[in-house]
Structure 1
């Protein structure tokens, strides 16, 4: 998914937008699957299990929309851009494809390196997607993507911490 011609030809149509959302939802399910194993190993109660999974799945989907919004706003600030927020949803959704492998993070001792690798792969895919979608240079796309990446990691981390706090409160 690091081929620029793929993103150049992934025009924003209702069909492509649906496929992009499906990719994001599968990525969320993959993330939830990996986290479910951790919860089972830690013998989480049923309410905590369900609540934690919902928070984790929601954090991935919310992260997709928030990252797209951040990229759109930073892109507008750096240079007046033509694409709308909706126009960016398809290419960024396709760039989430590496996150489909997120369930592999449940592998003991390899979970954290796999999670880091998938995040880096996703970031590179987003840089390529942004470069094509906004028709800007790679350096600008990287700057926009990294700013959004740092913000999204903060937001996702905050949502997951909130989920843990709620789970502890329920216990």
Structure 2
């Protein structure tokens, strides 16, 4: 299957990313249009996160300025997390396999790995929001592990180690943003 070109329309790309198709992740950087599709997936993931937060903040009657500030921080935390995670993976991966792939080459498959985050708006479901958020986060982690394994041509255990270096930092940063938002709503 590695010799077959993989379709690059958005729906097919999203599906292959969600099902953790290893061949798809391996061919990701070699297929035209994928940089734009990967960026679109990350932006949709950020938008989905913002949408979920907006509903919660509106229910809690957040002031317009606080609402705007919180939503900007939400979106930036997802997009910033994407770039930070890619950077940390590239840094460690370059130590293991110098000049194997570039930072730009990693942006595409890791962007695809953000596909589960497109469902982040589901976190507004009462009592299930936090578990859904955790499931989506772990799903993205697994997708990034597959992407790194295929992109760096390394064993799964080593790919997991590389990905787990930046993942907790991103989770803490997003959690911090959410706590900060809640505190802002309480105070204003």
**TM-score between the two structures when normalised by the length of structure 2:** 0.83
Equivalents in 2 of 1:160, 1:14: separation in Å? Answer: 36
**Quick check: 1:64 aligned with 2:82?**
yes
Unaligned runs of 5+ in 2: 1-16
Runs of 4+ in 1 over 6 A off after TM superposition: none
Query: How has the CA–CA distance of structure 1 residues 159 and 12 changed in structure 2, closer, same or farther, with 3 Å as cutoff?
Result: farther
Contact 1:17-1:90 within 8 A present in 2 as well: yes
Deviation at 1:55, TM superposition (A): 0.4
**Quick check: 1:77 aligned with 2:104?**
no
Unaligned runs of 5+ in 1: none
Which structure's relative contact order is higher, taking Cα pairs within 8 Å and 6+ residues apart?
A: 1
1:104 counterpart (90, 105, 122) = 122
Instruction: For residue 11 of structure 1, give the secondary structure of its aligned residue in structure 2.
Output: helix
| RMSD, aligned α-carbons | 2.0
Contact 2:45-2:119 within 8 A present in 1 as well: yes
Deviations 1:61-87 (A, max 9, x none): 000000000111121233424111111
Task: Report what 2:3 is aligned to.
Answer: none
1:45 counterpart (63, 66, 74) = 63
Count of aligned positions:
170
Equivalents in 2 of 1:30, 1:78: separation in Å? Answer: 35
Contact 1:23-1:94 within 8 A present in 2 as well: yes
Alignment of 1:149-168 (within 5 A): 149-161=167-179, 167=184
1:35 counterpart (29, 36, 53) = 53
Equivalents in 1 of 2:182, 2:21: separation in Å? Answer: 38
**TM-score between the two structures when normalised by the length of structure 1:** 0.91
1:135 counterpart (149, 153, 161) = 153
Contact 2:62-2:185 within 8 A present in 1 as well: no
